[in-house]
Amino acid sequence: MQIIVTGILLGGTYALIALGLTLQYGVARIMNLANGETFVAACFIAFWLFTAMQINPLVGLLVIAPAAFAINWAIYSILLKPLVDRAKNRGMLEVDSILATFGLLFLLQGLMLLAFGGSYFSYTFLAERFMILGNPFGLNRVVAFGAAVVIAVGLYLFLYRTRHGTAVRAVAVDPNSARLVAIDVAKTAAFAFALGGALTACGGALLSTFYTFNASMGVVFTMKALIIVIMGGVGDIRGAVLAALILGVTETAVASLIDPGLTIAATYALFIIVLLFRPQGMFGRQTS
């Protein structure tokens, strides 16, 4: 029981980075392998805001999310849009965007390593006990999970209840048809990419409240997010959230029951099961 709750609490933050990635890949068609770097950068900014300026990380989100949105918008328009324009087909864009975001990954990671070094950071925020079903949990984890739920629900309402959100979903399904109904595809793609970056940054800021982080761990989170996105089905919000919770629980279970050194192995076990049986994602429809 303890494992399941801990796993779900962890899964909440995973869900945010995965939602960010699924928006970027599903709508903007960019496989952003530098997503984990946005995540880690948000950890550091939240850390800095908290330690240097005593700003509560939850309040810090109000700064971090818009900043991530702006930076990701710039990254998309300056670096990635030219690749979208020159690609003759989906496959070429995929290879190009993978390589370009690898470049970003190392560049950002290198800059953060220069700035902060390779050591681990953490800070103490709401480190009190909180009882759920008779078991104690860190209040910071519970609060982070709560914030993640609020953000995810907000995203869902935006995508399914507003005109703008419908446009985003239309581009995800078929950019060409979306163009026919007067949706500005290029702008929507940039918006989705930026929104994805903002979601990821929120995930990072929330994670930093209860997790030790360092400058080079981004790629591990990118990989987990990628696997969640594939498990859930590309562009699928419900799928990503469910997959994130499953991954959180599986990881926690493996770490506490078998060996903490096997979390990647646990992630891969899930990944392999999905690849072999449902490569289109848990809710995905079979396509031929």
Binding residues vs another protein (CB under 8 A): 31, 33, 82-83, 91, 94-96, 98-100, 102-111, 113-114, 219-220, 223, 226-227, 230, 259, 261-265, 267-268, 271-272, 275-276, 279, 285, 288
Q: How many residues does the chain have?
A: 288
Work out how close the CB of 261 gets to another protein at its nearest, in angstroms, rounded to a whole number.
6
Least spacing, CB of residue 120 vs another protein, in Å: 16
Residue nearer to another protein on the CB measure, 103 or 136: 103
Nearer to another protein, 116 or 123 (CB): 116
Q: Which is nearer to another protein, 195 or 230 (CB)?
A: 230
Smallest separation (angstroms) from another protein to the CB of 215: 9
Q: Rounded to the nearest whole angstrom, what is the least distance from the CB of residue 49 to another protein in the complex? A: 25
- Collapse the DSSP code of 37 into the 3-class scheme (helix H, G, I; strand E, B; otherwise coil) and give the result: helix
Least distance from another protein to the Cβ atom of residue 20, Å = 16
Distance of alpha carbon 43 from alpha carbon 82, whole angstroms:
30
Q: By three-state DSSP, how is residue 283 classified? A: coil
For residues 165-194, b (16+ Cβ closer than 10 Å) or e, as one string? eebbbbbbeebeebeeeebebbebbbbbbb
Nearer to another protein, 209 or 252 (CB): 252
Contacts of 135 (CB under 8 A, 6+ apart): 1, 2, 5
Shorter beta-carbon distance to another protein: residue 149 or 264? 264
Within the chain, residue ranges assigned H as helices are: 2-26, 35-53, 57-75, 81-86, 90-116, 139-161, 163-173, 175-180, 185-207, 218-232, 237-257, 263-277
Minimum distance of another protein from residue 107's CB (angstroms): 3
| Cβ closest to another protein, residue 197 vs residue 281 | 281
Distance CA 22, CA 32 (A): 9
Beta bridge partners of 130: 137
